[in-house]
Amino acid sequence: MTTAENMKAESENNNTAVRTNFIREIIDEDLKNGKNAGRVHTRFPPEPNGYLHIGHAKSICLNFGIARDYKGFCNLRFDDTNPTKEEVEYVDSIMEDVRWLGFDWDDRLYYASDYFEQLYEFAVKLIKKGKAFVCDLTADQIRETRGTLTEPGKDSPYRDRSVQENLDLFERMRKGEFPNGARTLRAKIDMASPNFNMRDPVMYRILHAEHHRTGNKWCIYPTYDWAHGQSDSIEGITHSICTLEFEIHRPLYDWFLEELEIHHPQQIEFARLNLTYTVMSKRKLLQLVEEGHVSGWDDPRMPTICGLRRRGYTSTAIRNFADRIGVAKREYTQDVTVLEDCLRDDLNKHARRVMAVLRPLKLVVENYPEGKTEELDAVNNPEDPSLGSRKIPFSNVLYIEQDDFRENPPKKYFRLSPGAEVRLRYAYIVKCTGVVKDKKTGEIIEVRCTYDPETKSGSSQSGRKVKGTIHWVSAAHAVHADVYLYDRLFSTEDPSGDNWKDLINPKSLEILKHCKLEPGLAMSKPGDRFQFERLGYFCVDTDSKAEALKFNRTVTLRDTWAKVDKS
Ligand code: ATP
Ligand code: MG
């Protein structure tokens, strides 16, 4: 998007009335009660182990949106506590995506790894309070002694080590004296708790691995549960908004903060976004990329933010989607058509209309002088008169869509067929006089017609009406492009089962190599978006070049023309 477009989208975004939801109600209540001295401070805490997807976008809009509307702050915090799966490539892409969505963390960019020293000290504090201990059980042994839903777990034999011994062992863990997995630091809570998370959870594990930011400084790494709440507290977060799977972790979140007696943010859970025809787990998205089912993280069929962007999605459409679907307390699956509708609404307002012929068929206008070119007026966007109009060339040889001609038309076929009349958009009414066929194959290679000079669009005599209007491009002036028609990546609504890869839509991409576009499109740049009249919304692909234009179909029009056609 250009800066001007961005600002326009931004102001529209600000004008939409803010919808309330149960999280905003909690915040309103807190403000009324003077909690947190009237501060509202949220954070978006991605783990840099993959690219962001539309589910994250929802979380970003929620957290940054609340900060914006309550005149508070939202931090961007990388939850980088797992050195083996995280990469700088992901950190960079996450920042790019948050910015593209229209949000800004200003100077509040943080990394959980910045708090490793502080977290270590917090752990020492818990050890001194007798609330944490070094455990020599292996990961397997810890699992085996955890108990079941109906039976309590077993106390670790190391649970009653003295504070002194724990402090000594913990320090030596940090110094690297022990191999991976030899020891852990565990919270001393309650092995009989009905909540598994409270059964002496692991806080630190030994992992001799290089971290993308701290290098080899650390060989003990905090678990998510230990790092997350304390990071929230250190940053002065007031409302720590996360997805429902963390509800069961909340007692532990609270326990750590209470035992440490530090600032205590409130964890609030909401239902993660699930979409029909879409997989959202990072693990599955990574598989799609690594196994070559798609061309990369930014393949236009991916639900990643970079994929949606390359597909032609606008950030306004995604923000409007997040706003429209709201925030739920229970899991559900959102119909993906709502997302597509938000996109159409936005593109309808802003995308320029142009004419493009995807599957060309030559149309020769017999009574139009050969070599003559006429410049006709075409409206850029009927929804937005400020976008003005442009000139398009008309001549005696045109291209029309193969689908817009039938030698033997079905009933109610209002396009071109022998003897029938149709209006050429922004031009004249033409009457089909015959066809030319390939002598060998019998295939129609050319349609012939005559035009009625009295019917020029916009002229005073143009009043004569015909039922159909079709689009066209002048052959001599057309620019050539490859057009990639994308469809949904999965053929079924719910691709969540174990056999999800069998459900990949084999027809999710069709490449058209002979498309003809009106000449103005020669100047288009990657990211530009258009409505190809009667066909849908398209955008210029990132790989497009002036000498080799490449367009992606972003989304079809609401009333799918294709359906009419198959009749
Ligand atoms: P992982 O499976 O690696 O934990 P994740 O999708 O939870 O993946 P995170 O990087 O931990 O990824 O997510 C960052 C934030 O985005 C978290 O606060 C998480 O709750 C939120 N989030 C992730 N997926 C969704 C989703 N589908 N809908 C809404 N929020 C989401
Ligand atoms: Mg997560």
pLDDT tens-digit map of 13-68: 444 556 789 999 999 999 999 999 999 999 999 999 999 999 999 999 999 999 99
282 lines ligand 1 (CB under 6 A): yes
**Running DSSP on this structure, what letter comes out for residue 368?**
S
Q: Indicate whether 143 pLDDT > 50.
A: yes
Q: Which of 272, 391, 406, 501 is labelled catalytic? A: 272
* Number of the ligand 1 atom closest to the C-alpha atom of 243: 20
Can you tell me the mean pLDDT for 65-77? 98
Report the interhelical angle of 116-128 vs 250-260 (nearest 10°): 80
Annotation says 272 is catalytic: yes
Q: Which of 256, 279, 235 is nearest to 112 (CA)?
A: 235
Residue 500 tokens, joined: 């999800």
49 lines ligand 1 (CB under 6 A): yes
Q: Which of the ligands is closest to the CA of residue 59?
A: 1
Residue 132 CA to ligand 1 centre (angstroms): 29
Report the interhelical angle of 116-128 vs 224-234 (nearest 10°): 110
How high is the pLDDT of residue 13?
45
Residue 214 tokens, joined: 């701290």
238 lines ligand 1 (CB under 6 A): no
58 lines ligand 1 (CB under 6 A): yes
How high is the pLDDT of residue 134?
98
Can you tell me the mean pLDDT for 188-195? 97
Q: Compute the Cα dihedral for 374, 377, 381, 383 and give only its sign.
A: negative
Instruction: List Cα–Cα distances, 121 to 116, 359, 393, in angstroms.
Output: 9, 68, 74
How high is the pLDDT of residue 542?
97
Q: Which of 393, 357, 398 is nearest to 376 (CA)?
A: 393
Contact 499, 453 (CB under 8 A): no
Return the C-alpha torsion angle 276, 282, 288, 292, nearest 10. Answer: 150
Beta strand 549-555 pairing with 479-486: parallel
CATH superfamily assigned to domain 3-114+228-343 = HUPs (3.40.50.620)
Three-state DSSP class for 332?
coil
Q: Indicate whether 209 pLDDT > 90.
A: yes
Q: Which of 314, 284, 309, 344 is nearest to 555 (CA)?
A: 344
What residues have CB less than 8 Å from 194, skipping those under 6 apart? Answer: none
Residue 432 tokens, joined: 């089909």
300 lines ligand 1 (CB under 6 A): no
Q: Which of 47, 165, 374, 446 is labelled catalytic? A: 47
Let me know the angle formed at the C-alpha of 82 by 221 and 195, rounded to the nearest 5 degrees. Answer: 75
How far is it, in rounded angstroms, from Cα 520 to Cα 356? 11
Residue 286 CA to ligand 1 centre (angstroms): 15
How far is it, in rounded angstroms, from Cα 260 to Cα 200? 16
- Could you tell me which residues are beta bridge partners of residue 448? 364, 434
Q: Indicate whether 239 pLDDT > 60.
A: yes
For 184-243, the three-class secondary structure string (H helix, E strand, C coil) is: EEEECCCCCCCCHHHCCCEEEEECCCCECCCECCCCEEECHHHHHHHHHHHCCCCEEEEE
Average pLDDT over the chain reads 94
Radius of gyration for the chain, computed over Cα atoms and rounded to the nearest angstrom: 31
Residue 479 tokens, joined: 């620019």
Residue 225 CA to ligand 2 centre (angstroms): 11
Can you tell me the mean pLDDT for 288-317? 98
242 lines ligand 1 (CB under 6 A): yes
How far is it, in rounded angstroms, from Cα 415 to Cα 250? 63
Contact 108, 74 (CB under 8 A): yes
Band (pLDDT 50/70/90 cuts) for residue 560 is: low
Q: Which of 183, 205, 282, 352 is labelled catalytic? A: 282
Annotation says 282 is catalytic: yes
How high is the pLDDT of residue 549?
97
477-508: pLDDT as tens digits? 999 999 999 999 999 999 999 999 999 999 99
**Helix (H) / strand (E) containing 66:** helix 54-69
Q: Which of 362, 448, 449, 429 is nearest to 399 (CA)?
A: 362
Share of the chain above pLDDT 90, in %: 92
Band (pLDDT 50/70/90 cuts) for residue 3 is: very low
Contact 67, 292 (CB under 8 A): no
Q: Indicate whether 465 pLDDT > 90.
A: no
How far is it, in rounded angstroms, from Cα 57 to Cα 71? 20
**Running DSSP on this structure, what letter comes out for residue 478?**
P
How high is the pLDDT of residue 18?
67
Options 3.90.800.10, 3.40.50.300, 1.10.645.10, 3.30.70.270; CATH of 116-223? 3.90.800.10
Q: Which of 555, 66, 11, 100 is nearest to 315 (CA)?
A: 100
Q: Indicate whether 566 pLDDT > 50.
A: no
Contact 123, 171 (CB under 8 A): no
Three-state DSSP class for 404?
helix
45 lines ligand 1 (CB under 6 A): yes
- Could you tell me which residues are beta bridge partners of residue 405? 416
Identical topology for domains 3-114+228-343 and 355-477: no
How high is the pLDDT of residue 86?
72
113: left (phi over 0), alpha (psi -120 to 50) or beta: alpha
Let me know the angle formed at the C-alpha of 48 by 47 and 51, rounded to the nearest 5 degrees. Answer: 105
How high is the pLDDT of residue 388?
96
Least confident of 106-120, 150-164, 295-309, 446-460: 446-460
Residue type, 474: S
Three-state DSSP class for 36?
helix
* Number of the ligand 1 atom closest to the C-alpha atom of 49: 3
Can you tell me the mean pLDDT for 302-324? 98
Q: Which of the ligands is closest to the CA of residue 78?
A: 1
CATH topology of domain 355-477: Ribosomal Protein L25; Chain P (2.40.240)
What residues have CB less than 8 Å from 70, skipping those under 6 apart? Answer: 27, 31, 40
How high is the pLDDT of residue 84?
85
How high is the pLDDT of residue 85?
79
How high is the pLDDT of residue 559?
62
**Helix (H) / strand (E) containing 255:** helix 250-260
First-last CA distance in the chain:
39
Band (pLDDT 50/70/90 cuts) for residue 459 is: confident
How high is the pLDDT of residue 300?
98
Sheet with strand 109-111: strands edge to edge: 41-44, 73-78, 109-111
102 lines ligand 1 (CB under 6 A): no
Band (pLDDT 50/70/90 cuts) for residue 81 is: very high
How high is the pLDDT of residue 9?
45
How high is the pLDDT of residue 462?
63
Q: Indicate whether 11 pLDDT > 80.
A: no
In degrees and rounded to multiples of 5, residue 516 shows phi and psi of: -120, 125
How high is the pLDDT of residue 10?
44
How high is the pLDDT of residue 562?
39
Contact 189, 200 (CB under 8 A): yes
How high is the pLDDT of residue 199?
98
Burial degree of 244 (CB within 10 A; 0-12, 13-18, 19+): middle
Place of tokens 């699992």: 143
- Which of 21, 47, 77, 273 to mutate to test ligand 1, by most ligand atoms within 8 A of the CB atom? 47
Q: Which of 214, 207, 204 is nearest to 169 (CA)?
A: 204
Sorted by where each begins, the domain ranges of the chain are: 3-114+228-343, 116-223, 355-477
